[in-house]
Structure 1
Amino acid sequence: MYSLILRGRRLIEFQKWGHLRFASPNVLSTLSSSFSSASPADGRKRNNFTVAYLVDSLGFTTKLAESILRKVTSEAKGDPNSVLNLLKSHGFRDSHISTIISNYPRLLLLDAEKSLAPNLKFLHSRGAPTSELTEILSKVPKILGMKGDKAVGRYYDFVKDIIEADKSSNYEMSCLSALPEGSRQENIIRNVLVLRRLGVPQKLLFSLLISCSHIVSGKERFEESLKKVVEMGFDPRTSKFVEALRIVYQMSDKTVEDKVNLYNRLGFAVEDVWEMFKKYPFLLAISEKNILNSFETFMRLAFTRDEFVRMVKHCPQCIGLSSELVTKKTEFLVNTMIWTVEDVVSNPAVFGYSLEKRIVPRCNVIKALMFRGNGIPSVGYVLVCKDEVFLNRYVRKHDDKELVAELMAIFTGDRAS
């Protein structure tokens, strides 16, 4: 196991650190006011502000922010103000609450009195000081949503042990020595500490710890799976490393072999499969039925086998998409926009873009420009770029201010295309 740690550390030495993004610490008052009651006349404006705040300040995706808002306002599920007030009353500062909502936004949908308050009361009854409580629950807020004192207490203690072990190597040794040898608890702590030494970030360790797959509670199987993932070259600091570990741990060698053989029959070389797995670990977890359905869908849409292989090798996520989505996007891009199949094959990432929020708005702008005599640009130039790049490239560059306003209205949907 020690050799695995050394290998993982050497891998990290040759890779660059990614940039971390932190949520705004001043969240309580702003978020609370954004969810407060408003008159019907300004309801739409308030909702737009809330989504913008969740996206811009807390880093949520637009889809997630809108989903939370719909559930809270339309389904009347949960009371965000009650949740925020409860956390505040238990000593959580604005910075804690910002982190909690960023990591576990569904907390806003839980019942403050029936679900959250009892768990907080139980943890306080065990003697947990406020400073410890806020630190641990800010890092793993899902503990607050667990049911049963036993589960809440067990996972709280696991997280506490990991945090303390990060602060002191002496605590790590005393923690292990205090646990019954060969027990499930000892396996969990030992495995988590091994991952920690490899460089797996705390956040990812905690996600493994509270997952339902119980990966870190194993022993021989865990060690075998970890060895395979490290030898494949996955970076322990990334979520792909954790996802690959999940997949390898949960699948038998026979199941993996059968899945690789299936991809091989569809036209992929064995080495291609493992390269795709490194890009998209979930590739091996897709069912045989869904893999074949995906292949048949692309064949039905006039893609060749070679084109299918090219697309999936470049963008493995293509194979996990529904037949309906692939069909709609292909028909729109090829039939409506008159791009060729080869154009789409060269840019398979477009299958992962939202039709309503990305593809159609941008293509409506392009169609308006084509109506004025412009030619059609490449798929990649139109779709494979950020909104700001697209707007600068096709909307804002025009000297005619009326045209710019018209194109912007088409892009935002304020005017029928």
Structure 2
Amino acid sequence: MLRFFCKTVLLTKAKDSRSSQALFLRTISSTESTSGTLGSIDQKNLTISYLMNSCGLPFKAAISTAQKIRIETTERPDSVIELLQTNGFTKAHMANLITKYPPLLFVNPVKTLKPKIEFFQSLGFSRSDLARLLSSDKSILLRSLQKQIIPTLNYLKTFVHTNENLVSALKRCSSVVGCNVKRILEPNIATLRSYGVPDSNILRMITLHPKLLTVNVYRFKDVAATVNKMGFDPNGCAFIIAIFAMSMVSKQKWEKKREVFRSFGWSDEEFLLAFKLQPMVMLTSEKKLVIVMDFFVKDLHLKPSAVAKYPNLFLVSLERRIIPRCSVLQVLMSKGHIEKDLNIFSALICNKQPFDKRFVTRYEGEVPEVIKAYKGEMGFLGFDS
């Protein structure tokens, strides 16, 4: 009768998750207090209870994960959890990691986990940064330390030179740890060198855009050839940034984004100009490209060809930066403090400090409305209003 009741609790979809969790835990407690050997249902109860209480998994996630593993004794899981906790893993970290890879609870913590943790700590990872890294990418803990992790990172270090740069790269893209040196890393770097890219720029790429190294070798070669044909200088940082931007966007999405610009009247030459000035513009979503272009052309009445010269504006927030600044300029124009033929682009593209000094703090006493406009408390009505 008790086992039938447990099974009912496990399979019933509760309307109130907290109530169902409490009921479930009371049932487990009742089950574990009975004498005799735990049956299959009891072992499942133990697994779910352990996943929730010791590993921090939510109720539903614990039930799902319990379909993949079964905890018959907590001795090995306890030692794994203890090692992780000792090295700065919170329950949130452990829940994330174990949800992605439940069998981790049964590995040998001394032979499998501890050496890897100590190795990454020796590179300079803080406890919190390392816990974040390892819990977000389960594959690292599954890699061989001697055959994969150390050789790969040693190879990268010949370019980045310091552990600090290496740690910075891994924080940005941990998947580079799993790349094969001979089949992926060396060929991609060889492609860059074939165009004359200096090692100083390769260092910069690995530190800031390490994900680029993980791109398929044939795709990498194809993109590098295209970027070179566009006229990017291999000695400049923009060459690598352009390869990165193009590699991260599928050919289909690339054409859709180009079509957005064409729909607003950009020629192929204007598109190339914008991409060469700021390659990262192509990492902006199609939706944002449409919204920003629409604002510049329809609300500000700017020529699309003029917008092409300032592609950095697609990388900043329309709501938090562009519109509030336009509102400030609108207020000042309406009061006659600035001319309507002001270069709008220079005002929008400049950094916060010079904009504040020139248009906000300079007039806040005489025109207090600029503060409300800058905070987004006044809607932008257009420069002609």
Q: Tell me the TM-score normalised to structure 2 length.
A: 0.59
Q: CA deviation at 1:259?
A: 3.8
Q: CA deviation at 1:301?
A: 0.5
Within the candidate set 178, 186, 189, 2:150 is matched to 189
Q: CA deviation at 1:208?
A: 7.5
Matched, 1:310 2:273: yes
Q: CA RMSD in A?
A: 4.2
Q: Is the 8 A contact 2:169 2:210 kept in 1?
A: no
- The residue that corresponds to 1:364 in the other structure is 327
- The residue that corresponds to 1:414 in the other structure is 377
Matched, 1:146 2:109: no
- The residue that corresponds to 1:256 in the other structure is 220
Q: Secondary structure at the match of 1:146?
A: helix
Matched, 1:240 2:202: no
Cα distance between partner residues in 2 of 1:355 and 1:370: 20
Residues 5-404 of structure 1 correspond to what in structure 2 (within 5 A)? 114-115=55-56, 122-123=79-80, 125=82, 130=86, 133-134=87-88, 145-147=96-98, 148-149=104-105, 153=109, 154=112, 157-164=115-122, 185-198=146-159, 199-200=161-162, 201-204=165-168, 206-207=170-171, 210-211=174-175, 215-216=178-179, 218-228=181-191, 232-233=197-198, 235=200, 240-242=205-207, 245-253=210-218, 255-259=219-223, 268-269=230-231, 276-280=238-242, 281-373=244-336, 374-398=339-363, 401-403=365-367
Gaps of 5+ in 1: 1-75, 77-110, 168-181
Q: C-alpha deviations, 1:152-179, integer Å up to 9, x for none? A: 9546532412444779xxxxxxxxxxxx
Q: Is the 8 A contact 1:364 1:410 kept in 2?
A: yes
The alignment covers a number of residue pairs equal to: 281
Cα distance between partner residues in 2 of 1:411 and 1:220: 52
Q: 1 or 2 for the larger relative contact order (CA 8 Å, sep ≥6)?
A: 1
- The residue that corresponds to 2:48 in the other structure is none
Q: Is the 8 A contact 1:225 1:248 kept in 2?
A: yes
Gaps of 5+ in 2: 1-17, 19-51, 59-73, 99-103, 126-142, 381-385
Query: If you compute each CA radius of gyration, which structure gives the higher value, 1 or 2?
Result: 2
The amino acid across from 1:358 in the alignment is: R
Q: Is the 8 A contact 1:244 1:282 kept in 2?
A: no
Q: Is the 8 A contact 1:260 1:270 kept in 2?
A: no
Cα distance between partner residues in 2 of 1:397 and 1:284: 45
- Residue 285 and residue 410 in structure 1: after superposition, are their counterparts in 2 closer, same or farther (change >3 A)? closer
Q: Is the 8 A contact 2:56 2:94 kept in 1?
A: no
- Residue 344 and residue 205 in structure 1: after superposition, are their counterparts in 2 closer, same or farther (change >3 A)? closer
- Residue 129 and residue 320 in structure 1: after superposition, are their counterparts in 2 closer, same or farther (change >3 A)? closer
Q: CA deviation at 1:115?
A: 3.2
The amino acid across from 1:295 in the alignment is: R
Cα distance between partner residues in 1 of 2:317 and 2:108: 38
Q: Is the 8 A contact 1:159 1:206 kept in 2?
A: no
Q: C-alpha deviations, 1:78-128, integer Å up to 9, x for none? A: xxxxxxxxxxxxxxxxxxxxxxxxxxxxxxxxx8954389999545645x8
Percent identity of paired positions between Structure 1 and Structure 2: 16
- Residue 242 and residue 217 in structure 1: after superposition, are their counterparts in 2 closer, same or farther (change >3 A)? farther
